[in-house]
Chains A and B, each alone.
Chain A
């Protein structure tokens, strides 16, 4: 039993036309028992930058707290928000610091950068960054998510269509994974607004 499969998780982010969407499942389990069905895995760093953390839940929460701390310090010093690319490098550095005793998390970072250009990336638990132009996935349902996203994604989707696509991909994928599910949480970010929606899927 892998430590990455202890809690169960599914996180996905997709790029659309001048917007992005980041989504996660809502289950928190301890191996086969479900503990919570409203667990938050996607966190806000600032208005145009979000991070989803899959893997061990305690490490996800601790890592989030450390990242928020670092970002607040950055805001005080620089008097501005961090760019998504910079934040991604920060996360990568923080993870690699623990190279021989890592955080058991796989982050998915999504944000709007300069000129509201969407940015997504993922990394492994020791900070190897992987930039993508289309979508990134992580968690116990990652293989299913790869298949579903690869089939359903097309470039330059408008926000409504992007929301529909990411929701269908997430729900279909977690339905084939016993450790993730119990609904979904989708955040759609455009330059002018942020929409949060909770999806109802198979509650098992």
Chain B
């Protein structure tokens, strides 16, 4: 693809995961930046805190991701000035979708996972494709390791069917500690088999007390 004179994207690799709980949300991403078979840096954050209860993790082409995060952060600041409050996670979710679809015919090469707390304080995760199609789910993975991680999250956190009545919550009953442990486990597994995932894992946990950040070492090979 890169032999063409007009191919303007590249994939910098990496994996992002988010898990929603009853009153918390875990958003995690590895910190490796690659191009082709080379590593550019082992220490690059893919996570952006857009609002106090809203965190975005994106993998794909870092050029587009930097621009997208900057765009959204600017729009959030405008919202703050106009409405005298920070953007809620569901509002940011819609804004992200619209921002992505705005460039439907020259997309942001970004695979996004938005996590945070909704207006009731419950955990929420929104998962996107590159052109803005989105869905609120209980958990999601995007990026090069997503196909390795999703089946394991399905197995451990299986969402109830949306056809069930009465409607059941998609958020997991697991505790915050158990969810963080699960995220660490799935990243360790993805690191073994995906060459673009590794180095360090950045975990952000959002709950009503605020936002906590943690770094875990992953395999560096």
Q: How far is the CB of B193 from chain A (nearest CB, A)?
A: 4
Report whether A144 and B186 are in contact in the complex, using a CB–CB cutoff of 8 Å. no
Which residues does chain A contribute within 8 Å of B143, judged by CB atoms?
A: none
Q: How far is the CB of A45 from chain B (nearest CB, A)?
A: 28
**B residues 115-158 with Cβ under 8 Å of A?**
145, 147-152, 154-155
In the complex, how many residues of chain A place their beta carbon closer than 8 angstroms to a beta carbon of chain B? 15
Report whether A172 and B189 are in contact in the complex, using a CB–CB cutoff of 8 Å. no
Q: How far is the CB of B56 from chain A (nearest CB, A)?
A: 23
* Size bin of chain B's contact surface: 10 to 19
Report whether B154 and A152 are in contact in the complex, using a CB–CB cutoff of 8 Å. no
Cα A21 to Cα B14 in complex, Å, equals 32
**A residues 142-168 with Cβ under 8 Å of B?**
143-148, 150-152, 168
Cα A144 to Cα B154 in complex, Å, equals 11
Report whether A151 and B186 are in contact in the complex, using a CB–CB cutoff of 8 Å. yes
Which residues does chain A contribute within 8 Å of B190, judged by CB atoms?
A: 147, 150
In the assembled complex, B185 has its CB within 8 A of some CB on chain A: yes
Cα A150 to Cα B194 in complex, Å, equals 11
In the assembled complex, B43 has its CB within 8 A of some CB on chain A: no
Cα A169 to Cα B151 in complex, Å, equals 8
Interface string of B187-199 (1 = CB under 8 A from A): 0011011000000
Known A146-B193, A147-B193; judge A176-B150 contact (CB<8 A). Answer: yes
Q: Which of A143, A147, A176 has the most C-beta atoms of chain B within 10 angstroms of its own C-beta?
A: A147
**B residues 160-192 with Cβ under 8 Å of A?**
185-186, 189-190, 192
* Interface, chain B (partner A; CB < 8 A): 145, 147-152, 154-155, 185-186, 189-190, 192-193
Give 11 A-B contacts (CB < 8 Å), ordered by A residue.
Answer: A143-B148, A146-B148, A147-B148, A147-B150, A147-B151, A148-B151, A148-B155, A150-B148, A151-B152, A169-B151, A172-B152
List 7 additional contacts besides A143-B148, A144-B148, A175-B151; criterion CB under 8 Å: A144-B151, A147-B147, A147-B149, A147-B150, A151-B186, A175-B154, A176-B150
